[in-house]
Amino acid sequence: MLSAFLLGGALYEHATWYWELQFLGRPAPGNFWLIFPAAALVYLFLWGTTHVAAWLTAWEAAYRGYRLPKAVVLRGLYFHSAHYLPVGLAAFTTTAGYRLLVHRDVFSIASGSNYLVVLCCEVLLGAAYLFMTYWAGMRNMMYANR
């Protein structure tokens, strides 16, 4: 849930930055409470992704002849969900930090393309990190259940 709030906060900060960019620096409406529905959507997305990954992993394990039912995989993925926290923290820190630095006139609004490149790199590195940690855990579970 904490990761969902961090990622929802990053979504809110990024959407607010986009609003200000489109309307030439005019402040976005102060709808800070929108973080809660954003966090709920992120939580539902993470929950759905976790269940799809559990189903696919159990299917692959059965195909390879391993005893790895979906319930066991799901338990492993719930343990793995702690790895969402550093990804959410990095995303929130980048989005909120950039907006803060723009408002303090450390960066100009023209540096938005650099911000987007950094954010895209974080998405790629976060996805690689999550996949590597997922694969390490699932590989160990598969070989333990031969």
Hey, what's the torsion of the CAs at 128, 14, 34, 125, to 10 degrees?
10
pTM of the shown model? 0.82
The token pair that represents 24 in the structure block: 């030439």
Euclidean distance between CA atoms 92 and 81, whole angstroms: 17
Euclidean distance between CA atoms 11 and 24, whole angstroms: 20
Euclidean distance between CA atoms 2 and 5, whole angstroms: 5
pLDDT (tens place) for every residue of the chain, 146 residues total: 889 999 999 988 888 888 877 776 666 666 777 788 888 999 999 999 999 999 998 898 888 887 888 888 888 888 888 999 999 999 999 999 998 998 898 988 788 889 999 999 999 999 999 999 988 888 777 766 65
